[in-house]
Amino acid sequence: MKRFGAVLVFVLAAAGFSRAAEYRMRFKDYYVGPVELRCTETGAWKFSVSHAASADGTEEMRIRLTAAEDAPPPKFSVLFDVPQVDMHHKWSVQYPLERVGLPANWDCTTSSRLCYGLPLVAFLNANDRNRLAVACSEAKRAVVFNAGLREEGCRIEWKIDFFGEPEAPMRSYETALRFDRRDVFFGEAIADASAWISKTAALKPAPVPAAAFEPLYSAWYSFHQDVSADAIEAECAEAVRLGMKTVIVDDGWQTDDNNRGYSYCGDWQVSTNRFPDFAAHVKKVHDLGMKYMIWYGVPMIGYKSANYGRFKGKYLWNRDGRWADYSCLDPRFPEVREFLCGVYEKAMRDWDLDGLKLDFIDAFGFNGPDPAVAEDYAGRDIKSLSEAIDRLMKDVHARLTAVKPEALIEFRQCYIGPGIRQYGNMLRATDCPGDLQANRCRIANLRLTSGETAVHADMLEWNVAETAENAARFVLSSVFGVIQYSVMLRELPADHKRMIAHWLDFTRRHRETLLKGAFRPHHYEAFYPVIEAESAAERIVAVYNDAAIADGGKVDRPIYILNATGSRRMAVLLSGGPATGEIFDTFGVRRGVVALRAGLQEVAVPVSGYVRIAPDL
């Protein structure tokens, strides 16, 4: 052990030990108690570990590995456990909604890599307070968090694994862990940890154009693959009248097939049966006043595509079955990267597109051993898959923005981490058709981790037999993200259209608060029944459960309380008064005025309507 100022440095050396020996070093100076670093088969690798505490009440464990020559890095783990004291729920941005709660240590895995999730796990209490948030600066390679309750003694047991997936030889490696036990609002701890990952890993988010925050129309749920120029143009005309600014045409533009598979992906030629003149079609949509984006399945070369034979020997894996009838390209080949960049750049230029939806990049990975090892990496100019994905996506971003500097680039959950934010300016909640609760939760989680990048809702759809008020609940569950509509607009009842038009206008007028203001989702364990956003100009509180209280706070600025509960009455708490509340229905029609006071009170508000509160002068 050597002391350098306030930093302790520990060295694990492989010299003098057999390759099969197991190395363990235990460190006692952390907020979380003793921390163990464990490695088997270190080979020629040496470890050094340093500790640093920050003035903000967090601390870091910095790990460095070195070898004399290139070698596959060794698997290693960091282990510790803490008492389950006031820890009730585990949070992760990609944690399944059905698993909200506290998992046992035998079923508690959360993983991340460049194109899946992010390396951050937190434990909260039942009152929205952080109890322990742990983040890792490794935003490219696989990191696996195992964190759950050990029955013996009620302790939260942690094991963080590195290099569990195949990795290219290297000579050095560095990573850091950040431990945060501050008693702060859990959203603050998560946002701070996410920002720390970006800063520590030197990941600079892509600029976000204003258009990334504009509401849009997606053709996926409304059309699926059954798209055509005439139908899209008709829907866009309706979308523009309602207030939408961008359209995304999803899978289907490039194939005549309607079977929802990917057999024909990889050629990326327009179906002339569906779109006889694609450039002219895009121009018609532009003339309506909308931007135009199209979908690509980035790694996919379908078995029935003309390009399938062209890339033989340059695939990571093959997959059979419905929705899996394709092979996955290996971006470590320079010609693969150039093919993809060239396809996207040409599409942007030839068709005057405004952006791309780049899908399925989480498919880049290994199904077993790395096939390159047996070939001694022949033909590959980058050995590391994560580095090659990073290079590909940086090149794509550079080529697209060279065509249009404010090109829109969408990625969806679960590829939404700080590495992905380098290339994309729109991050969308993963598919949850018709599930307003899942959409709300996924938007909230992404808002906490995505900094200033535009967070989008999953596309909205609902049955046309719904009342306009009930249909509006889908909208209200998405108002803290950019809303993507995917209902067949021409077939909607007139009152549904009136409702959409009002909420499009409302979200436009309050965009700075809803999408860029201070954001606080409450009670993760209850699927965020109350969410609020605040700016210097106003405060907006949305309530999604009729048992929840809408805490409007101090009446020092206009307060909007949105009733997404399905009930006609709300419990409203104010810390000042007297005040006046104006009641509006879901169409924006003023329905009355109510006198309000400090304290808790019941207020009658129409379903999917709202109350605007202002202080009495």
For 557-586, the pLDDT digits (tens) are: 999 999 999 999 999 999 988 999 999 999
Query: Which distant-in-sequence residues (6+ apart) come within 8 Å of 357 by Cβ?
Result: 248, 250, 293, 294, 295, 296, 410
> What is the C-alpha separation between 69 and 65, in angstroms, rounded?
12
Alpha helices (H) along 425-528: 436-449, 468-476, 494-509, 511-516
> What is the C-alpha separation between 394 and 396, in angstroms, rounded?
5
Residue 214 CB: number of other CB atoms within 10 A? 19
Position 21 scores a pLDDT of 53
Reported as type and span, the H/E element at residue 343 is helix 334-351
> Is the pTM value of this prediction over 0.85?
yes
Task: Show the tokens assigned to 532.
Answer: 């609020």
> What is the C-alpha separation between 432 and 461, in angstroms, rounded?
10
453 pLDDT exceeds 60?
A: yes
- Residues 241-263, mean pLDDT to the nearest whole number: 93
Alpha-carbon distances, residue 278 vs 135, 271, 307, 316, 354 (angstroms): 46, 9, 21, 32, 14
What SS3 class is residue 248? strand
What angle do helix axes 385-403 and 334-351 make, rounded to 10 degrees? 20
Q: What is the phi/psi pair of residue 186, to 5°?
A: -60, -35
How far, in whole angstroms, is CA 102 from its chain's centroid? 22
Q: Place 322 in a pLDDT band, splitting at 50, 70 and 90.
A: low
Among residues 340, 271, 346, which one has the least CA distance to residue 307?
340
pLDDT tens for residues 265-307? 999 999 999 999 999 999 999 999 999 999 999 999 999 999 9
Which residue carries 């307060």 as its tokens? 559
Query: Which distant-in-sequence residues (6+ apart) come within 8 Å of 309 by Cβ?
Result: none
> What is the C-alpha separation between 82 and 159, in angstroms, rounded?
12
pLDDT tens for residues 139-185? 999 999 999 999 999 999 999 999 999 999 999 999 999 999 999 99
Give the total residue count for the chain.
Answer: 617
**Share above pLDDT 90 across residues of the chain, in percent, rounded to a whole number:** 89
Burial of 48 (0-12, 13-18, 19+ CB in 10 A): middle
Residue 257 CB: number of other CB atoms within 10 A? 17
CA dihedral of residues 41, 45, 51, 57 (deg, nearest 10): -70
> What is the C-alpha separation between 263 and 598, in angstroms, rounded?
63
> What is the C-alpha separation between 278 and 70, in angstroms, rounded?
50
Q: Place 29 in a pLDDT band, splitting at 50, 70 and 90.
A: confident
What SS3 class is residue 197? helix
Q: With contact defined as beta carbons under 8 Å apart, do 472 and 585 qualify?
A: no
Sort residue 106 into left (φ over 0), alpha (ψ -120 to 50) or beta: alpha
Q: With contact defined as beta carbons under 8 Å apart, do 258 and 271 qualify?
A: no
Task: Show the tokens assigned to 600.
Answer: 């808790």
Q: With contact defined as beta carbons under 8 Å apart, do 180 and 133 qualify?
A: yes
Among residues 259, 247, 252, which one has the least CA distance to residue 297?
252
- DSSP characters over 267-292: S----TTT-SSHHHHHHHHHHHT-EE
- Residues 200-221, mean pLDDT to the nearest whole number: 98
Q: What is the phi/psi pair of residue 504, to 5°?
A: -65, -40
Domain locations in the chain?
2-200, 210-428, 518-615
CATH, domain range 210-428: 3.20.20.70
528 pLDDT exceeds 50?
A: yes
CATH, domain range 518-615: 2.60.40
Cα dihedral across residues 93, 97, 99, 100: positive or negative: positive
Which one-letter amino acid corresponds to residue 105? N
Q: Tell me which of 101-110, 508-517, 599-608 is least confident.
A: 101-110
Mean pLDDT (the chain, rounded): 94
- Residues 42-48, mean pLDDT to the nearest whole number: 93
> What is the C-alpha separation between 297 and 323, in angstroms, rounded?
12
Q: Place 321 in a pLDDT band, splitting at 50, 70 and 90.
A: low
Q: Tell me which of 224-233, 317-326, 363-372, 565-574 is least confident.
A: 317-326
Q: Place 16 in a pLDDT band, splitting at 50, 70 and 90.
A: very low
Position 10 scores a pLDDT of 40
Position 615 scores a pLDDT of 87
pLDDT tens for residues 454-498? 999 999 999 999 999 999 999 999 999 999 999 999 999 999 999
- Residues 20-49, mean pLDDT to the nearest whole number: 85
In the chain, the N- to C-terminal Cα span, in Å, equals 67
Position 323 scores a pLDDT of 64
Burial of 468 (0-12, 13-18, 19+ CB in 10 A): buried
> What is the number of alpha carbons within 13 Å of residue 591 lying toward its C-beta?
16
13 pLDDT exceeds 90?
A: no
Task: Show the tokens assigned to 193.
Answer: 């940890």
Q: Place 15 in a pLDDT band, splitting at 50, 70 and 90.
A: very low
> What is the C-alpha separation between 561 and 543, in angstroms, rounded?
7
Given the DSSP bridges, would you call strands 143-150 and 33-40 parallel, antiparallel or unpaired? Answer: unpaired
Residue 491 CB: number of other CB atoms within 10 A? 11
What is the layout of strands, in order, in the sheet containing 484-485? 454-456, 426-428, 408-412, 355-359, 291-297, 246-249, 216-218, 484-485
Reported as type and span, the H/E element at residue 561 is strand 559-563
Q: Place 617 in a pLDDT band, splitting at 50, 70 and 90.
A: low
8 pLDDT exceeds 70?
A: no
Q: Place 28 in a pLDDT band, splitting at 50, 70 and 90.
A: confident
